[in-house]
Every structure is written in C-alpha cells, then in structure tokens.
Amino acid sequence: MGFDQYHEPPEELPGATRTFARLCASLTEEAEAIGWYEQRLAVESDREALAIMRDAQGEEFKHFCMDLEFLLRRTPLWREIAEGILFQEGDIVEHGEEAEEQAVEGAAERGAPLAGSTSLGIGSLKGVAS
Amino acid sequence: MSHLLREHAPITEAAWRLIDDEARERLTPALAARKLVDFAGPHGWEFSATNLGRTTALSGAPSDGVQALQRRVLAAVELRAAFTLSRAELADADRGAEDVDLAPLDEAAHRLATAENRVVFHGFDDAAITGIAQAATGDAVALGDDCAAYPRLVAHAVEALLRAGVDGPYGLALGPDAYTRVLETTEHGGYPLLDHLRKIVGGPLVWAPGVEGAVVVSQRGGDFLLDVGEDLSIGFTAHEADSVELYLVESVTFRVATPEAAVALSP
C-alpha cells in the first residue's frame, strides 16, 4: 500500500491534516473513475454492459460528492469560494474570481486563522448576534 | 510542532475536537469586545508589538551632532488561563459519553473572555494599555440601578457622540448586572427594554462580563483596534496519571485611536 498522498513526512503531520490528505486522494480517485467510465460508455455498444457502467459511474458521482462535502466542511474558506461558484448560472470564471476575492478579503476581516494554526479560529465576532 | 505542544498531550483527536468545540462555544458569547471593536490579525505567536508610529527623543546621542529618536511600540500581552481536566472524563468522551465534565474548561474560558473584555474596556496599566472607558473624553455619567432611566442615559450618550462628530451606528456593552436588569425589564405596554436600547444605539447590544456599568461605542470602524498575535488557542502543560493540565492562551494589544468615539456609563 502506498502512502504517496502525503507530500510531507506523515509523522510530522497533524492527524487532521492526514485525514484531509486521504480525502483529497479519494476525491482525485473518484474523479478519475468518473472520467474512465465516461470513456468506456462512449465506446461500448452492449446495452447490458452500458447499464452496468452507468450504474457504476453513478456510484462514483456519489462518492465524489461525499468526499467534496467532507473537505468543504473542514475548510470554511474553500466552502465559501465554492458557494460562489457551484450551482450558479452565468460565467464560471467570473463567479470564480468574485468568490475568491470576497472570501479571501472576508476571511482577513474576520481574523481567519493562519495556515497551519491550531487556534480555535474565533477571530472577529463583529456581526455575531448576542 | 507548535509552541502549544498539543501533540504531547495524552488526548485523542476526538477528545481534542470536543475540548476545542467546548471552548469555542463558551468563549463566543462572552467575548464582547470582539463584537464591538476592530480586529486585526491573527499575526501569529511571533508577533510581539504593535507599531504606534511615534517616537521618543533620547537625551543621549551616539556621537555629536546626531539626534536620537526611539520608536515607540505597544508590546503584546499574553493572556493565559490554566485548567485541569480529568483523563477519565476524556476517556469516557472517547467511549461516546455525552455528559463529559468540562467545567474547569468552561470556567477558564469565562476568565479569559472576561480578561480580554477588561483589557479593552477598562485597560491594563501593567501593560500600558488604555481601555475605552478610561480614554473616553465625555463627562462621566452613572448608569445606576434604575432601568427606567437607561433609555434616557443611553440617548444622551448617543447625542454626545453625535455632537463630537462621531456618526452611528453605535454599540452598547453592558456589564452583567446591568444586562440582567435590562433583560428583566419591560416598559409601559410590555415593550422589552432590550429592544428599545438597541433601537437607540442602532447597533449591537452585548453582554460584557468584565465591564463595569456600560459603554457606548462607535461602530463606524477605525476608532478601537484589538491587535491579535496568537488567537485564542489551547495548549498543553503537563499530565498526571489521572489528570491533564491545559491552558487557554492569546496574545493581544489594544489601542484607542479616537477617544471621543465612546461614552462610558459608570455602574
């Protein structure tokens, strides 16, 4: 079994970062599998085989979405940017630029934790209801 | 490994999550200052001082014909509240217990939030920090125990801010005693006093443990700055067979840029 989802020595990484890396690796694998099934479906002519592979690709869609949701829940800044891009009509690149700018600036104003910090991440509470 | 030494604690990842979540839950309602003043940072544990942009002329000089000025900074203060948790309780949490006793953490969270509020609103002489109520330039007015007078007193404070050219909205920090009195009170017709005061200030009204009386503060921004190095974190000190010693910590400085942007109402 390989451990190449880690870019840094695993023993130096906090447990939460190792879990995060595992789910990132899983997300990549699900995306690859979706792409592979897409290619197989494009060339297959047997209807029964097509039905099985469509069903299998649906599983990969589900796995990809579950991995993504986990990662977004653990990464508020990523989630905020994703909310500005996903399921939106219009220009994807434009939404991406706007979402990134707003989320990064907003994070700075809120006093978001520094990368790698193990603080409680409380920051500013302006606007938080009493 | 960070200076918090969390990896050395005999605490599982699940128990750390429980401890961090509990601390966040307890701290957030009590951190009144963070709901009313500007927040800068976190700059990290290495952050040691805020630049004041000012100098002090030194009487001596390294050589003739040379003037020496020393830069002035506001040194960061580390606020730390220690607490001890039972390892048996944490082990029960790992087993799925829902009623884990984290009372020492809750008390430490309250102590630290109260300390942060006191530094911001009443200052900390030992650290050369002037609080908002100390810096406020208006005439001192007593809040007193008579809730019926609160709307008039707060309205006068708002009027004083307007006269000083400080535009709204404003926020109101109420010490625990005053806050309880306000919560308990309805005016003629049953209208909650809390809502009336909110309407007068046009901004948040917050429960502020550590505050004596009340303080009306501008919410326009740029008047009061809490500069944070290490934001609130939990670190590990030591452990025994049956207990683990932890601490809540943060490093901060605070300064008032516009003294006339606040009115203090003494108890």
Cα A74 → chain centroid: 10
What is the model's pLDDT at position B149?
Answer: 92
Q: Do both A50 and A88 map to the same domain?
A: no
Domain that holds residue B17: 6-55+69-266
CATH number at residue B109: 3.30.2400.30
Domain annotation covers residue B61: no
Q: Do both A63 and A19 map to the same domain?
A: yes
What letter does residue A111 receive in the DSSP assignment? T
pLDDT in tens, A78-91: 998 999 999 999 99
Q: Which residues 6+ apart lie within 8 Å of B50 measured at CB? A: B73, B74, B76, B225, B227, B253, B255
Q: Do both A92 and A107 map to the same domain?
A: yes
Domain that holds residue A80: 76-111
Do residues A110 and A124 lie in contact, with contact meaning Cβ atoms separated by under 8 Å? yes
pLDDT bucket at B187, cuts 50 / 70 / 90? confident
Quick one: tokens of A104? 């990064």
Q: Do both A91 and A70 map to the same domain?
A: no
Please state which of the ranges A103-117, B79-93, B146-160, B221-235 shows the lowest mean pLDDT.
A103-117
What letter does residue B131 receive in the DSSP assignment? P
Q: Do both A17 and A58 map to the same domain?
A: yes
Domain annotation covers residue B145: yes
- Gap from B232 CA to chain A (nearest CA, Å): 6
CA B22 to CA B12: how far, in whole Å? 15
Q: Which residue of B has its CA nearest to A129?
A: B204
Instruction: Say whether pLDDT at A112 is over 90.
Output: no
Residue percentage of chain B with pLDDT more than 90: 86
The complex scores an ipTM of 0.90
Instruction: Say whether pLDDT at A4 is over 80.
Output: no
CA A45 to CA A31: how far, in whole Å? 24
Pick from A14, A119, A123: CB nearest B39: A123
What is the model's pLDDT at position B180?
Answer: 92
Instruction: Say whether pLDDT at A129 is over 70.
Output: no
List beta partners, residue B227. Answer: B40, B253
Domain count, chain B: 1
Q: Do both A12 and A67 map to the same domain?
A: yes
Greater confidence (B137 vs B89) lies with B89
Q: Do both A67 and A86 map to the same domain?
A: no
Domain annotation covers residue B99: yes
**If 0-12 CB within 10 Å is exposed, 13-18 middle and 19+ buried, where does residue B64 land?**
exposed
Residues of A in CB contact (< 8 Å) with B are 14-16, 110-111, 113-114, 117-130
Among A25, A58, A74, the domain-final residue is A74
What is the model's pLDDT at position A1?
Answer: 43
Domain count, chain A: 2
pLDDT in tens, A60-72: 999 999 999 999 9
Pick from A16, A110, A114: CB nearest B13: A16
Instruction: Say whether pLDDT at B56 is over 70.
Output: yes
Work out the end-to-end distance of chain B between its first and last CA atoms, rounded to an integer number of angstroms: 46
pLDDT in tens, B3-48: 999 999 999 989 999 999 999 999 999 999 999 999 998 999 999 9
Q: Do both A47 and A21 map to the same domain?
A: yes
Region B163-170: mean pLDDT is 94
Q: Which residue of B has its CA nearest to A113?
A: B42
The two beta strands, B224-228 and B38-40, are parallel
Instruction: Say whether pLDDT at A128 is over 90.
Output: no
Instruction: Say whether pLDDT at B190 is over 80.
Output: no
CA B10 to CA B195: how far, in whole Å? 47
Of A90, A83, A89, A88, which Cα lies nearest the Cα of A68?
A83
**If 0-12 CB within 10 Å is exposed, 13-18 middle and 19+ buried, where does residue A123 land?**
buried
Region B80-104: mean pLDDT is 97
Are B206 and A130 an interchain contact pair (Cβ–Cβ within 8 Å)?
yes
pLDDT bucket at B206, cuts 50 / 70 / 90? very high
Region B179-189: mean pLDDT is 83
pTM for the model: 0.80
Domain annotation covers residue A40: yes
